[in-house]
Amino acid sequence: MKVIYKDIFRNGILGIALFSYIFSCIIKVVFFYIKEKKFSMKKFWEPGGMPSSHSALVMSLSTSVGKIRGFDSLDFAMIFVISLIVMYDASGVRRAAGQQATVINKIVEAWYESDPFEKRIKLKELLGHTPLEVLAGAIFGVVVAVLSFRFIPLTIG
């Protein structure tokens, strides 16, 4: 078990992907501050926002695997297809769920106006991303991976 932890921490591709994810989350906090003039660390963990951290994660992973294993490899093909699914989910399914939550919250609010003492339940509305946020995250992930390989030599034995 000790060897597994050592291997995980030495995995450069995993490191690039996690760095891309964390740095994109930091950027989301900064963009929120610029737009809303409020600082909120909750934006670091919340879904949605610019750029998509999930898109950055999977595209940096895809790019890294492509650089190491080859862009014509089975490894790259598998992770790239998974990346497309993640990005589609972020901008399609989760975004639609967020829009539905907005409508449901309005219906519930109107319903509870008749009984002001009833406990109100509000659904989370910002679940997904706009296509632009997904694209920005994907580009960010590719750039992080390319720059990482430019300045940090990585190989997998």
Could you read off the pLDDT of 28-87 as tens digits, one per residue?
888 888 887 887 777 777 777 788 999 999 999 999 999 999 999 999 999 999 999 988
Residue 20 lies in a domain: yes
The residue type of 138 is A
Residue 68 lies in a domain: yes
Distance CA 78, CA 152 (A): 25
Name the pTM for this structure: 0.73
Check whether 125 has a pLDDT greater than 60.
Answer: no
Residue 65, phi then psi, degrees to nearest 5: -65, -40
User: What is the number of domains present in the chain?
Assistant: 1
Residue 157 lies in a domain: no
Residue 114 lies in a domain: yes
Q: Which of 154, 135, 130 is nearest to 17 (CA)?
A: 154
Residue 156 lies in a domain: no
Domain limits at 68? 2-151
